[in-house]
Amino acid sequence: MSELTKFLFEGLPVRGMLVRLTDSWREVLRRREAAATASDLDAVAPYPQPVRELLGEMAAAGVLMQANIKFSGALVLQVHGDGPVKLAVAEVQSDLAFRATANVVGAVAADAQLEALVNVHGRGRCAITLDPRERLPGQQPYQGIVSLHGDRREPLQRVQHVLEHYMLQSEQLDTRLVLAANDELAAGLLIQRLPVEGEGNLEGAAGSGGGSGAARRNEDDIGLSEAFNRIATLAATLTREELLALPAERVLHRLFWEETLRVFEPLSPRFACTCSRERVRGMLKSLGRDEVESIVAERGEVEIGCEFCGAQYRFDPVDVGALFTPGRDHPPGSRAVQ
Ligand SMILES: [Zn+2]
C-alpha cells in the first residue's frame, strides 16, 4: 500500500517525510496503458521510460509538498516543456489523493534527462499552484514559477534540484529532496529546516498570508543551521537504487541511525481523479453551441477522454441538444465509461 511517513529529529529544527507510492502509482501507469490500448491516438500512447520516471518523481514530490504544507485544496505541480514533453502535471488534494499525466509529442531518447525532456531550448518552466478548495470572491490561486536552471544558469537535470531551488528561492526554506521512480514505485525523501514562522512562504500563502519580517529573518538563517546541514548531507547519500529498493524504516535507519527520530503513523496517499461528466458539460458549454454542433455533425457524437484517468465521456446529438437548451440543464445519469 502507498504510504507517507513523517518524522522529526528530536530537539533539532529539522523535519522530514518519506513517501512510497506503490499501488497508486501503478494505477496511474495501468490506466495510461489501458487508454493507449483503447485508442490509436498518439496523444494517449504509453509513456516512454524517461517520461514515466519524470512523472513518478513529480507525483512523489507533489505528495510530499502537499503533506508538508497541508493546504486545503489542490497542489498542482506542472512542468511546461519546450522539448518532447510539452506538459507534465501532478495534482494532489489535501487528503493526498493524487493524479498525474504528461503530454508527449515526438521521440524521447532512452537516456533523456530533464533538459532533453522539457528544456531543450532553455524555455522550460516549473509552476507550483495552490488552488483553494473554496475560493473567496475574486481570489486567485497562488502560483510560483521557476526556470529549470541553477544559480549559474546551468540547465538542471533532475526535477528534485528544480524543486529544491524553488523552495529556497521562493519559499526561503532549506530543503533536500531525493526522488526516484520506476514502473513499480514512485518514491521520495524530503528533509526541511523548520521555518522560523510559517509566513512569507508556501505555508504562509496556504494560511493567512503575511508579513515579510519573519521571512527575512528566516532568510538570514539559510545555510546557517548546522543540524540541518548535517542531516541534509546524510540525506544526499541516499541513492535512487536504495530509495527504490528499501522499505521506509530501512531507509531511515540507513541514513539517520545516529539521530533520534520521532516517526509518526504513516498516511495513505491514493490515486483518484476529480473529473466528472458535469465538468465536461461545463467545458463543452464554454466551447459554444456552433463549435460543439459542428463536431456532432462531423463525427455523430462528441467524445472527450480524461487525460488523467482515461474515463470517456460521450455526448450524442440528444445530449448536445440538451446541453444548449435552457431548462434542460441536468439530464439524469452519467455515462462515464472507465
Ligand atoms: Zn479523470
pLDDT of residue 327: 67
What separation in Å is there between the alpha carbon of 51 and the centre of ligand 1? 20
pLDDT number for residue 197: 54
Residue 134 vs residue 21, higher pLDDT: 21
Q: Cβ distance 142 to 205 under 8 Å? A: yes
Instruction: Give mean pLDDT, residues 157-165.
Output: 96
Q: Which of residues 218 and 36 earns the better pLDDT score?
A: 36
Which pLDDT score, from 0 to 100, does residue 44 have?
82
261-263/73-80 β-pairing: unpaired
CA 236 to chain centre: 22
Q: 305 alpha carbon to ligand 1 midpoint, in Å?
A: 8
User: If DSSP codes are grouped into helix, strand and coil, which group holds residue 282?
Assistant: helix
Q: How far away, in angstroms, is 330 Cα from ligand 1 center? A: 20
C-alpha 275 to ligand 1 mean position (Å): 4
Outline where the chain has alpha helix (H): 23-38, 49-69, 114-118, 159-171, 202-206, 213-220, 226-235, 240-245, 248-256, 277-287, 289-299, 317-323
Cα(30)–Cα(23) distance, integer angstroms = 10
Render pLDDT for 114-152 as a digit per residue (tens, 0 to 9): 999 999 999 999 999 999 988 888 888 899 999 999 989
What average pLDDT does the structure give for the chain? Answer: 89
pLDDT in tens, 303-314: 999 999 999 999
Q: Quickly state the pLDDT bin for 222 (edges 50, 70, 90).
A: low
CB 76 within 8 A of CB 118: no
User: Which is nearest to 231 in space by CA: 193, 180, 188?
Assistant: 193
pLDDT for res 209: 43
Higher pLDDT, 196 or 182: 182
| Nine cell digits for residue 38 | 483503447
* Confidence band, pLDDT 50/70/90 cuts, at residue 333: low
Mean per-residue pLDDT for 196-205?
Answer: 52
Output the CA 258–ligand 1 centroid distance in Å. Answer: 45
pLDDT, residue 131, reads 92
Q: How many DSSP H helices and E strands does the chain contain?
A: 12, 13
Query: Ligand 1 centre and the CA of 211: distance in Å?
Result: 39
Contact, 62 vs 218, CB < 8 A? Answer: no
Read off the pLDDT of each residue in 275-279 and give the average, rounded to a whole number: 94
CA of 99 to the centre of ligand 1 (A): 8
Give the three cell numbers for residue 67: 503533506
What confidence score (pLDDT) does residue 120 get?
Answer: 96
Please answer whether residues 3 and 267 qualify as being in contact, where contact means their C-beta atoms are separated by less than 8 angstroms. Answer: yes
Report, as an integer, the average pLDDT of 242-265: 96
Cell numbers describing residue 199: 509566513
Q: Do 121 and 82 form a contact (C-beta atoms < 8 A)?
A: yes
- The full set of domains in the chain, from first to last, is 3-271 (3.55.30.10), 277-323 (3.90.1280.10)
pLDDT band at 326 (very low <50, low <70, confident <90, very high): confident
Query: What mean pLDDT is predicted for residues 149-157?
Result: 93
pTM of the model: 0.87
Stronger pLDDT, 48 or 151, i.e. the higher one:
48
Residue 211: pLDDT over 50: no
**pLDDT higher than threshold 90 for residue 169:** no
Task: Report how far ligand 1's centroid is from the alpha carbon of 100 (Å).
Answer: 10
- Residue 322 Cα to ligand 1 midpoint, Å, equals 23
